[in-house]
Amino acid sequence: MKESALDIPGLRPPVLRPATVKALDAYLAFRHRFRNLYLFDLEPTLILPLLSAAPIAWEPVRDDLAAFAAAVEQIAADI
């Protein structure tokens, strides 16, 4: 697996898998556009697809966070 900024080898595993980060790219891009361009003029055509896909995007995030928490708990128990 390719090392990412979310991974600290020898210390802890990554918080999110690269596939999860990639799945969140559209949300990060929307956030960037909203903060820098839209102000109060939101485009429903850009928001609705993100809203409908949010539950699907949340599943791998939830799983990754649970795996990360378990790994950190194991690291703490091993100390």
Global pTM value? 0.75
Domain count within the chain: 1
Degrees, nearest 5: CA angle 20-21-22: 90
Residue 13 falls inside a structural domain: no
Distance CA 67, CA 50 (A): 25
Residue 72 falls inside a structural domain: yes
Distance CA 51, CA 53 (A): 5
Mean pLDDT (the chain, rounded) = 85
Residue 9 falls inside a structural domain: no
How confident is the model at residue 46, as a pLDDT?
A: 82
Tokens of 55: 């539950």
pLDDT (mean) for 25-53? 81
Residue 24 falls inside a structural domain: yes
How confident is the model at residue 1, as a pLDDT?
A: 43
The residue ranking higher by pLDDT, 8 or 6, is: 8
pLDDT (mean) for 41-67? 91
Q: Domain span at residue 31?
A: 18-78
Tokens of 56: 């699907």
Residue 8 falls inside a structural domain: no
